[in-house]
Chains A and B, each alone.
Chain A
């Protein structure tokens, strides 16, 4: 018992900066880390400003690649994929049955802001569908995907674009509307270890854990795809 306490005290607590969409799965993989969940773009900006991150896990290759190019983190590794889905409140006040219904006047659509991975994926998806006119019904642009989820789950928004993996945690509050698979953008998650970390060994161990068979199984359970 004492030995365990000593071991726990001696253990390094990692600062893990991760995309908001990883908020459910990562603590299941490692309960000891200190997590900071937010928009991947925001986290990359903070790392660029010297925030003490030991591991960075992003919902898009864009920001990890950029940090790598600036010498601020290790070579990024892809570890998961995801798909964009449309959700509506369970009561479905606007009676949305397909993505085309989003064109109707007065629909309150909430999406991610430009630059936030889910916001960029949403715009790409709508462009693929030839439905960019839907953007006229956007009433709020959020800084991470969980804020989009919250506004739909609360019933304040009529619809929102989020990731497939965001649906399960609020499954009793939202309905998922099917989207044509052909319009899906490629959603790839990448991780890297910031070069400024004071705990590179522990950070690499965390990365190995995510990439391990166990880690991949947890990601798959949560609904992520694997690269």
Chain B
């Protein structure tokens, strides 16, 4: 029996790791660095970093209070609101792209002219990535020990102070993990971006779009960009594990008593 489990585990890890290992097997570290110096690669790196930083800042600033509200208040339609927030998690990116065009396109509901701009990339990234943050944030705020919140309130803390000094620090580990997940998802965003923002080097061509544009033109550049994203995502996921670990209940209790 043990053998079956071991074989299955080995097969799963091997299958999932093989394509990743293959990327690095095809490019030596030297050529990897050289290929990243190509203008198309450099431009894509800049566009990706810029749009993702803006998008994630928005997600953080708007998403944190929103998640706090969703976690702490019960109101009519709460589960509908939560479901709507989670929906982009399971929507195919192509549907997200169509939806963004139908909403923000020139002939869309709001008829804006953001399509084909970096703003469109930011919107696409925020749309697909924010649920990862908000969902985790809601769960983190929900798991904050209610007696601590009540204690703060009975000691006369105003709601803002309760949020900023009690709930936020106690949920910080989970918020961090959610943020990193959202960031990783945002960096990989492809489908919604190519439909809503188009693809233009130096403007809207993010790393995944550049990989798509380069893979038939210059496979080495595509591989190098792929390797870069793999390394980045690996580091981010590892960071999530670490953040989750630091937000275990015992640790939380320790911080709350020492604070």
Contact = CB atoms under 8 A, between A and B. Distances in A.
A157 B116 CA distance: 9
Contacts of A45: 215-216
Contacts, number: 49
Contact of B216 (A42, A93, A110): A42
A93 B116 CA distance: 16
Contacts of A93: 106
A31 B200 CA distance: 36
Interface in B204-222: 204, 212-213, 215-217
B32 interface: no
B65 interface: no
Q: Which of B101, B105, B198, B199 has the most CB of A within 10 A?
A: B198
Nearest to A155: B107
Size range of the chain A interface in the assembly: 10 to 19
Q: Which of A110, A115, A156 has the most CB of B within 10 A?
A: A156
Interface string A88-111: 000001000000000000001010
A65 interface: no
Nearest to B198: A140
Given A108-B116, A155-B106, A139 B198 contact: yes
Q: Which of B116, B203, B212 has the most CB of A within 10 A?
A: B116
Interface in B166-203: 197-201, 203
Contacts of A113: 199, 213
B115 interface: yes
B230 to A, nearest CB: 21
B101 A156 contact: yes
Contact of B116 (A139, A143, A155): A139
A142 B198 contact: yes
B200 A115 contact: no
Nearest to A49: B216
B200 A140 contact: yes
Contact of A154 (B101, B200, B215, B217): B101
Interface string A139-154: 1111100000001001
Size range of the chain B interface in the assembly: 10 to 19
A35 to B, nearest CB: 20
A139 B200 CA distance: 6
Contacts of A140: 116, 197-200, 204
Nearest to B196: A156
Given A115-B216, A156-B116, A138 B200 contact: yes
A190 interface: no
Contacts of A54: none
Contacts of B215: 45
B199 A41 contact: no
A154 B105 contact: yes
A154 B111 CA distance: 12
B98 to A, nearest CB: 10
Interface of A: 41-42, 45, 93, 108, 110, 113, 115, 138-143, 151, 154-157
24 contacts: A41-B216, A45-B216, A93-B106, A108-B116, A110-B116, A113-B199, A113-B213, A115-B217, A139-B116, A139-B117, A139-B198, A139-B203, A139-B204, A140-B116, A140-B197, A140-B199, A142-B199, A151-B198, A154-B101, A154-B105, A154-B107, A155-B106, A156-B101, A156-B115
Given A142-B199, A156-B115, 18 more contacts: A41-B216, A42-B216, A45-B215, A113-B199, A113-B213, A139-B117, A139-B198, A139-B203, A140-B116, A140-B197, A140-B198, A140-B204, A141-B200, A142-B198, A143-B213, A154-B101, A155-B106, A156-B116
